[in-house]
Structure 1
Amino acid sequence: MLIDSHCHLDFPNFAEDLDQVVARARAAGVGAMLTIGTTLAKSAQVIAVAERFPNIWASVGIHPHEAEAEPDVQARTLVELSRHPKVIAIGETGLDYFYEHAPRDAQKANFRAHIQAARETGLPIIIHTRDADDDTAAILRDEVAKGEFPGLIHCFTSGAALAEVAVELGLYISFSGIVTFKTAANLREIAARVPAGRLLVETDSPYLAPIPHRGKRNEPAFVADTAKVVAAARGIGTDELAALTTANFTRLFTKANVPAALAA
């Protein structure tokens, strides 16, 4: 069984056929999914998706693109939202200097508030970082010094140095369909070296469909294609990769009752 550790099932792209999307994921061997919050204003609709299905959970948070639209987020707000039984993570949050849809100072403040919430709740923080490796590493080191917290860097596209920092600080690393792209040999090398106990896979759907689905709407079923490439990079079988990443998901997202969800 595989788990899609990061998707956006509340997005309009899935409004017409969500039941079929979830069914196709099951048929492809994807037993569970984590649908991700990107704004506090839409937390209710993200959670509502998770409530519909026993094998789907949710996170709550503010994407760095939205850091200016929803400023001054307080950790206590995130903590309160996380009390819902289907909410198992904080985020996504982090830094994005590629698009810079929000000022860097606002992104950094947003990131730190989410880290505080993760520290207080014990729930993993889901980190988005793009073209911001140095600042991401600096904030993570600074915040870990204040007290440890669980988490992962999702849709990893950074360099080996940030991967090493993440592992050093106890974080997990998740790979999306980007790792299947012909131009992503460096990512496959990093995926091959990530410690077995820190590895996850995801779709980030509806975006970033892996080969052979490029150009299509991405969906959780396609995480199986990403898993095949990561398994090949590591020199293991896809069944072993599936068992490994599912065990890692269960260990990181301790609030999720994975066995019960799959039996339902």
Structure 2
Amino acid sequence: MSRKRREIPVFDQPLIETHCHLDYLKDRPLEETLEKVRSVNIERVITIAVSPDNLAQVRALSQLHPWLYGTQGVHPHEAEAYSDACEAEIREHATDDKIVAVGEIGLDYFYDNADREVQRQVFRRQLQIAADLGKPVVIHSREADEDTIAILSEFEDTLERRGVIHSFTSGPGLARYALDQGWCLGFNGITTFNKAENVRDIVRMTPVEQILLETDSPFLTPVPYRGRENAPFYLPFVAEKIAEVKELPLEQVLSATWQASMRTFFPDDGAH
């Protein structure tokens, strides 16, 4: 017998979806998804680049509406496809008006889809782009805590103190390092999973002023919609769970995460 799923809550305060992949969504027409996103008071959406093949697509998506934004970068899974031409494209467009960060970049030793040394080289090269251009970074790190800290440490004097380790599932050591650097940690539907107490422990230790809300859709659909394709309009469930885990009023979480998102990606915008 199927349980009735809760309606998506709509809050008075706006939210920012800091990490999704609009070009990966398949369940419904994109404009239908975007209408639903706006209906639950999500005011800004950042869609994330992951490979040489979708850099231009992300830029095009960011132009569809004034409230859509994008990034430019190559995910560690695609590190072996990185090239000088790809780097030139990222560097050229990272300062476009609707591009807010270099990302998604980093290390993934869980899947090892690319040689680890290549991953490290490509991570460094993209961090250098961000350092040169004064852009924040969106970082993916999985089963690679020590190397992530080591490489980020090389850039402590040159990188902006703005960035996020997204979909945080790493240990407290990487969390403390990132937080001490003034960075944010991104949390998504994983926080609602029954077996994710390790992630909730990191949520508890993270100052709410350094938390970003994300869905990483179409992946990691939150409870109570597990089994369906994830979408940015499920973000309110993540906000609710963060408030529950942190034992804070929802309004405080919404305000703090909004301000953290603005500080990280829109520092010149007077709306924060």
In 1: Cα distance, 2:58 partner to 2:145 partner: 28
Correspondence 1:148 to 2:159: yes
Q: Which residue of 2 aligns with 1:9?
A: 22
In 1: Cα distance, 2:224 partner to 2:23 partner: 24
Structure 2 residues not aligned, in runs of 5+: 1-13
Structure-2 change in CA distance of 1:131 and 1:72 (3 Å): farther
Report the CA distance between 1:40 and its aligned residue: 2.6
Report the CA distance between 1:256 and its aligned residue: 7.1
Correspondence 1:123 to 2:138: no
Structure-2 change in CA distance of 1:2 and 1:258 (3 Å): farther
In 2: Cα distance, 1:184 partner to 1:258 partner: 36
What secondary structure sits across from 2:219 in the alignment?
A: coil
Q: Which residue of 1 aligns with 2:8?
A: none
Runs of 4+ in structure 1 over 3 Å off: 71-77, 255-260
Structure-2 change in CA distance of 1:32 and 1:119 (3 Å): same
The RMSD of aligned alpha carbons is 1.9
Letter in 2 for 1:197: E
In 1: Cα distance, 2:210 partner to 2:191 partner: 16
TM-score (norm 2): 0.89
Structure-2 change in CA distance of 1:116 and 1:75 (3 Å): farther
Report the CA distance between 1:74 and its aligned residue: 7.0
What secondary structure sits across from 1:67 in the alignment?
A: helix
In 2: Cα distance, 1:61 partner to 1:242 partner: 28
In 2: Cα distance, 1:258 partner to 1:99 partner: 41
Q: Indicate conservation of the 8 Å contact 1:88/1:255, yes or no.
A: no
Q: Indicate conservation of the 8 Å contact 2:25/2:231, yes or no.
A: no
Report the CA distance between 1:196 and its aligned residue: 2.5
In 2: Cα distance, 1:255 partner to 1:164 partner: 23
Comparing 200-209 with 180-189, greater Cα deviation is found at: 180-189
Q: Indicate conservation of the 8 Å contact 2:79/2:122, yes or no.
A: yes
Report the CA distance between 1:29 and its aligned residue: 2.2
Structure-2 change in CA distance of 1:161 and 1:136 (3 Å): same
Q: Which residue of 2 aligns with 1:27?
A: 39
In 2: Cα distance, 1:209 partner to 1:77 partner: 32
Q: Which residue of 2 aligns with 1:179?
A: 191
Letter in 2 for 1:241: V
Q: Indicate conservation of the 8 Å contact 1:157/1:187, yes or no.
A: yes
Identity %: 36
Comparing 118-127 with 235-244, greater Cα deviation is found at: 235-244
What secondary structure sits across from 2:26 in the alignment?
A: helix
1:76-117 per-position Cα deviation (integer Å, ceiling 9, x unaligned) = 542211132111110101000011110001111111111111
Correspondence 1:48 to 2:60: yes
Report the CA distance between 1:246 and its aligned residue: 0.8
In 2: Cα distance, 1:115 partner to 1:121 partner: 10
Q: What does 1:1-264 align with in structure 2 at a 5 Å threshold?
A: 1-11=14-24, 13=26, 16-72=28-84, 76-144=88-156, 146-149=157-160, 150-254=162-266, 257=269, 259=271
In 2: Cα distance, 1:75 partner to 1:118 partner: 11
Structure-2 change in CA distance of 1:245 and 1:61 (3 Å): same
Comparing 54-63 with 68-77, greater Cα deviation is found at: 68-77
In 1: Cα distance, 2:249 partner to 2:25 partner: 35
Structure-2 change in CA distance of 1:129 and 1:177 (3 Å): same
What secondary structure sits across from 1:136 in the alignment?
A: helix
Q: Indicate conservation of the 8 Å contact 2:82/2:122, yes or no.
A: no
In 1: Cα distance, 2:20 partner to 2:64 partner: 15
TM-score (norm 1): 0.92
What secondary structure sits across from 1:152 in the alignment?
A: strand
Q: Indicate conservation of the 8 Å contact 1:60/1:87, yes or no.
A: yes
Structure 1 residues not aligned, in runs of 5+: none
- How many residue pairs were aligned? 258
Letter in 2 for 1:79: R
Letter in 2 for 1:13: K
